[in-house]
Amino acid sequence: MKEVRDKYIDLLMRTILCSMYPDPALAYGSDDNNHRKEGRDWPGIAHSMIGEYRAKNIVDLCKRVIEEEVPGHFLEAGVWRGGTCILMRGILEAYQINDRKVFCADSFEGLPVPDENKYPRDAGDILHTFEQLAVPLETVQENFRQYDLFDEQTVFLKGWFKDTMPTISDETFSIIRLDGDMYGSTMDILNNIYDSVSKGGFIVVDDYALPTCKAAVEDFREQRNICDKIYEIDWTGIWWQKTQ
C-alpha cells in the first residue's frame, strides 16, 4: 500500500511539473532540465513553477505532519496555476485523509501594486506588470478537475492577502507555504497566519532569494524573536519548523 501511495504522489508531482514531456519556458530561464528541476523558469504548460526540489520538499513536509500527527490544514498563499495546492490535495487523497483542507489563497489577478507608504521595501517593484502571473480562479479550479481533485476539501480565497488572511486566522494550519514575492505580501501572510500554525508545523517560503521577501522574513522573525533554524531547499526556497 505504501509503495503504491508513494508512486502515485511521485507521478502526480512529475505531472504537475510537466517534467516527463517537453515544455518550453514561457518566460525566464532556459529549456534545460536543471532549470526545471531548480524552478528557474516560468513554464509554458506545467501547473507549477516551483521545480523538483521545492516540490519534493512540500511532499516531505506534508508526509511528516501526517505521520507525526501535527494538527491543521495546508495553506499556500500565491498559487499561480494551482500546482502546489493540487499536489498537497493529492497527498491527502493518497493518505485517505478527509479532515484536513487545502487553502488556496491568491488574487487570481497577479500581484498588487506596491504600497510604498506602508511597505517602503517594495518601492519600485514591477511584478504587478507581469500578465503571466495572473491566472484566473476558474482556470485554477479547472486544473484541479483535471486531476479529479476538485472537491470540498479545497478552499479558494480570492483577494489580496491583506484582506483574505485575517478571515482564516482562526483556523489551524500544519503547513503554510508563502509565495507572495513582495515584502508587503509576505508580511500580510505572516502577521495574520503565523500564530495559527501548530507547534511542530512548518513555514515554507518560496521567494527567499528576492531581497524584498527575504527582508520581510528576517524582519518578522526578529520582531517575534523566532530562532528556529532555517533550512535551505534550493537557490530560493527555505523552511523552518515552528517549535513554540
Could you tell me the CATH number of the domain that includes residue 87? 3.40.50.150
Is 59 a member of any domain? no
Is 61 a member of any domain? no
Number of domains in the chain: 1
In order of 1, 12, 14, 52, 146, the CA distances from 4 in angstroms are 5, 12, 15, 20, 21
The C-alpha cell that represents 10 in the structure block: 511521485
Task: Write down the number of H helices and E strands in the chain.
Answer: 8, 9
> What's this model's pTM, rounded to 2 decimal places?
0.95
pLDDT value of residue 38: 85
pLDDT value of residue 131: 92
**Centroid of chain to Cα 167:** 18
Is 42 a member of any domain? no
Is 20 a member of any domain? no
The CA distance from 182 to 155, in Å, is: 23
The C-alpha cell that represents 191 in the structure block: 502577521
CB 183 within 8 A of CB 212: yes
| pLDDT < 70 positions in the chain | 27-34
pLDDT value of residue 40: 85
pLDDT value of residue 230: 98
Is 47 a member of any domain? no
Is 147 a member of any domain? yes
Is 8 a member of any domain? no
pLDDT value of residue 30: 54
Is 56 a member of any domain? no
CB 188 within 8 A of CB 162: yes
In order of 42, 105, 183, 205, the CA distances from 51 in angstroms are 10, 20, 23, 14
Query: H/E element holding 104?
Result: strand 102-106
pLDDT value of residue 33: 59
Q: Which domain holds residue 186?
A: 72-241
Strand-pair category, 154-158 with 102-106? parallel
